[in-house]
Amino acid sequence: MRAVVVDRWMEPSDLTASEHPEPAPAPGMLRVDVHAAGCNFFDLLMARGTYQVRPPLPFVLGAELSGTVRDVGAGVEGFAPGDRVMASLPYGAFAETASVVPALATPIPQGMSFAQAAACPVVYPTSYVALADRARLSPGETLLVTAAAGGVGLAAVQLGKALGARVIALAGGAEKLEVARAAGADLALDYQDAGWVDAVRQATEGRGVDVVVENVGGDVFEGCMKLLAWDARLVVVGFASGRIPEVRLNRVLLKHVSLVGLHFGAMVVQQPARVAETRRALAELWAAGRARPVVFGEYPLERVAEALHALGGRRSWGKVVLTTGRGS
């Protein structure tokens, strides 16, 4: 089969598709013929060997996919050959065939394409857990989402609206601000404008925001800390700026706020039951049309370097997706 194989630590620009052995059928597993695979920022880090997860070399890159079940391993219930599924996995998605843990697979909702489905398995559960579990977002609260035109950010905007919040989106550039508005943001602000902190203060009549989903770090994180209302919750999801901030704890104390982290990949191991509940909740939202993935572009598997360049170069919004040519 064709696959994107990391056989040494390398730059994403060096990646390409090559021949690689198919995963063998295994008890307790699903073998899926991949139609599409979603790209994530951490894929760039995994290729370089700088991510917290470093699989043994060689390995197939990619952590989310959509496709059809080819065969069902012994002991697996609830799936049959031919089922359309989306799934997350530690790695192995950038290939024509992948082996998937059944608990991490979800049926694709009616009317959703394989490309759209491949954009769901990582970012939507991450955003849902950030909002519903870690932040305890309530209807009527004000939510600030940073990197709001990215995969996690757009999902958080959509899910925040579905959960009844007023959503303020922070993104870079007019085009990305429009993408955030289209996803449901009540207010969209450019973080490149030095006055964005004051604009949020004005929009909240000086009170600040109840919840922040923070994907950026650096100066953006510092700005968010200034905007926390009494008893606010800030959920740390990532550091897209590349700079991990330090926190002055007197700010946490004085405003009675909570800083919480989120590592969805580890939840799969530590809290599998909650992950399953999250997937069921999202399936209902997808089916009801209250959360719809936004795909920036679809790239053939062979153009993986170009796809990751669009993602890493901040030129994309929503999700960048690879396709294997199996059809839509």
Q: What pLDDT sits at residue 312? A: 86
Residue by residue, pLDDT tens for the chain (328 residues) are 999 999 999 999 999 999 999 999 999 999 999 999 999 989 999 999 998 889 999 999 999 999 999 999 999 999 999 999 999 999 999 999 999 999 999 999 989 999 999 999 999 999 999 999 999 999 999 999 999 999 999 999 999 999 999 999 999 999 999 999 999 999 999 999 999 999 999 999 999 999 999 999 999 999 999 999 999 999 999 888 778 888 888 889 989 999 999 988 888 889 988 988 998 899 899 988 899 999 999 999 999 999 999 998 878 999 999 999 986 6
- Full set of structural domains in the chain with CATH: 2-120+293-323 (3.90.180.10), 127-265 (3.40.50.720)
Residue 213: its pLDDT value, please?
98
Q: What are the C-alpha distances in Å from 283 to residues 63, 85, 126, 137, 287?
A: 19, 12, 14, 19, 6
| DSSP H/E element including 104 | none
Q: How far is CA 102 from the centre of its chain?
A: 20
Tokens of 110: 């009616």
Handedness of CA 91, 97, 102, 105 (dihedral sign): positive
Rounded to two decimals, the pTM is: 0.92
Question: In whole angstroms, what is the distance from residue 114 CA to residue 99 CA?
Answer: 17
Distances (CA, A) of 97 to 20, 40, 68, 86, 167: 10, 19, 10, 13, 39
Residue 318 near residue 119, CB atoms below 8 Å: yes
How far from 314 is each of 110, 119, 240, CA to CA, in Å?
31, 17, 10
Please give the pLDDT value at position 150.
Answer: 93
Per-residue model confidence (pLDDT) at position 327: 66
Q: What tens digit of pLDDT does each residue of 111-163 get?
A: 999 999 999 999 999 999 999 999 999 999 999 999 999 999 999 999 999 99
What's the sign of the alpha-carbon dihedral 45, 46, 47, 48? positive
What's the CA gap between 12 and 180, in Å, rounded? 27
Largest CA distance in the chain: 59
Report yes or no: 100 and 79 within 8 Å, Cβ to Cβ.
no
Neighbours of 274 (CB within 10 A): 14
DSSP secondary structure letters along 197-214: HHHHHHHTTTS-EEEEEE
- In angstroms, the CA 141 to CA 212 distance is 11
Q: CA quadruple 201, 206, 209, 212: dihedral positive or negative?
A: positive
Query: What is the rounded distance in angstroms from the CA atom of residue 38 to the CA atom of residue 322?
Result: 6
CB 286 within 8 A of CB 90: no
Query: Residues of the chain with pLDDT > 70: what percent?
Result: 99
Interstrand relation of 295-300 and 97-100 (parallel, antiparallel or unpaired): unpaired
